[in-house]
Structure 1
């Protein structure tokens, strides 16, 4: 290809309907809404080197969502008879949100499962939070699951990602959860050149040593996430890719989940297709779940999500990542 042709070639992920190569962009219809994610806010007690949404003690681009705002979506689920079975809470660090225990109570009291993604560090280990979690576990058992981010099974590589001392603090939190018989899962990363088999074997050794109730061979009990690189040259996904890759659009997480965020300064929360796209206004689907299911503009085709972002290709389709079990 000549230099002139390269300069005039369409940019990747620029057109919601057509890829740079001219193929029809892949879409993922909503098969059934099974998991609703609630972003509790983007503030976190630590700054990780490669956080998917750049959470930190300073990043408040996503405001703390309030208990009443989250409850409005739970009311909608009940009113519309939506097939949601699980509410996931992510951040930032969810236990920094002052309403997190109340939101968990509202979810569990309705008979839904609750999943909290946490680093299990100081925000979770405050006495008020510990006491609240124990009360919820006593009342609702294993319908409450805490998935702890343990990026690697070694102190050196985990601390390389999350900061010196974070490994030991996270192990303290996991030890407490295990000791108190919580439903527990772990989330690691696959960014150190290991095979999945090697990674699971390493986690299995640590799990056995600490006597945690986690099965390292179970993909829901130990979730291994692909690494993301915003600067990488990522291939686009066309409709033909489903056949080429031997994948079904129904297996991609936006076929069964949506996410609620409240941006800083916004009057109300908004619905997005996925946990990886919290800041891009092009992916706003509507103010409620019914409106989101009918979104028909820009990145959406009657509720179907057009895979017009590098994360759609790298994390979900090619990486096989899914935030929910």
Structure 2
């Protein structure tokens, strides 16, 4: 008797979907953004944080300047250097890391909640100094969970919205280039979300264009236990999308895990725990093979949601 074929569960086989179709993958198209994750420690604990950052989660530890320099040295052309966390301004070496990227001629995008860690006098002075020397090559992108204070604080904790707005206003007053990353509610159209953020921007005296997708980045709401379709090779034509439009075709992220002897390079800024997206110790290793879209977030966040973390 012939063996009975048992199809794999969804997002379980690297090459084949549960329906037996060929899983889509994304090849390397050249570096757009090198992300540096300064660690999962954060001053707040958001209800729906993509990588579960919190004041106690140190499974990704702080990067040091010594960790970062070899990866900057690997770069042969100018690129965007993105810094994320956790909260990057909790990292002891954050200002040195920022300076190392900028002095090499790269542009710099720092993701922050603009709260207490950023507002310490030492950090404020360092940011002013970097802005004076490098101007528009440095942007701080402030994350919010909503343009509505109550909705934001339901995710981030009471008073988080007001504190972030204070930080945004300080950045504007200090002349430091700023952008906003907001979430779009499941029950809110993009137009409605942009109108809400437009009103907030005006109330804070910021000079951001709410219609510019780089100045106001809207991320889709992620749903716990979401069940999106798997992405097959046929999807590129059906969706009229090219693989090189997906984030992992041109972005990588450096992390250091607790207890690890060296940093690692990941394919994705969100999938920090899935070993399938851990690609090596160097950028050369991490860009050698295609990334297989074998995770629900590959579908819901990147391919179907159309999101990208970079500028």
Q: TM-score, normalised by structure 1?
A: 0.93
Asked if the contact 1:28–1:252 (Cα under 8 Å) also holds between the matched residues in 2, the reply is yes
Residue 76 (structure 1) shift: 1.2
Matches within 5 A, 1:41-60: 41-60=39-58
* CA distance in structure 1 between the partners assigned to 2:226 and 2:275 by the alignment: 22
1:219 aligns with 2:217: no
Q: Take 2:298 and 2:224, find their aligned partners in 1: how far apart are those partners?
A: 12
Q: Distance in 2 between matches of 1:182 and 1:59?
A: 30
For 1:167-206, what aligned pairs fall within 5 Å after superposition?
A: 167-206=161-200
Deviations 1:131-189 (A, max 9, x none): 00000000100111000002211111111111110000000000000111111100111
Which stretches of structure 1, 4 residues or longer, exceed 2 Å deviation after superposition? none
Question: Residues 148-167 of structure 1 correspond to what in structure 2 (within 5 A)?
Answer: 148-167=142-161
Task: Show the counterpart of 1:298.
Answer: none
Distance 2:286 2:165 in 1: 39
Deviations 1:278-305 (A, max 9, x none): 12222211100111122xxxxxxxx211
1:17 counterpart residue number: 15
Preserved contact between residue 33 and residue 251 of structure 2 (Cα < 8 Å): yes
Contact kept, 8 Å, 2:186 with 2:221, in 1: the verdict is: no
Q: Deviations 1:84-126 (Å, cap 9, x if unpaired)?
A: 5110000000000000000000000001011100000000000
Q: Structure 2 matches for 1:229-248, cutoff 5 A?
A: 229-248=223-242
Report what 2:248 is aligned to: 254
- Counterparts of 1:40-79 in structure 2, within 5 Å, are 40-77=38-75
Structure 2 residues without counterparts, runs of 5 or longer? none
1:322 counterpart residue number: 308
**TM superposition shift of 1:9:** 4.5
Unaligned runs of 5+ in 1: 295-302
Shift of 1:10: 2.3
Tell me, what secondary structure is at the counterpart of 1:169?
A: helix
CA shift for structure 1 position 232:
1.3
Q: How does 1:78-117 map to 2 (within 5 A)?
A: 81=76, 83-117=77-111
Q: Aligned partners of 1:251, 1:151: CA distance in 2, in Å?
A: 25
Partner secondary structure for residue 120 of structure 1: coil
- Residue 31 of structure 2: aligned partner: 33
Superposition TM-score, scaled by structure 2 size = 0.97
Distance between the aligned counterparts of 1:35 and 1:84, measured in 2? Answer: 10
Distance in structure 1 (CA, Å) of the matches to 2:200 and 2:285? 45
RMSD: 1.3
Question: Comparing 276-285 with 14-23, which one deviates more in the overlay?
Answer: 276-285
2:293 to 278, 283, 307: 307
Residues 207 and 214, structure 1, Cα contact 8 Å, conserved in 2: yes
In the TM superposition, what is the alpha-carbon distance from 1:32 to its structure 2 partner?
0.9
User: Secondary structure of 1:115's match?
Assistant: strand
- After TM superposition, give the deviation of residue 265 of structure 1 in Å: 0.4
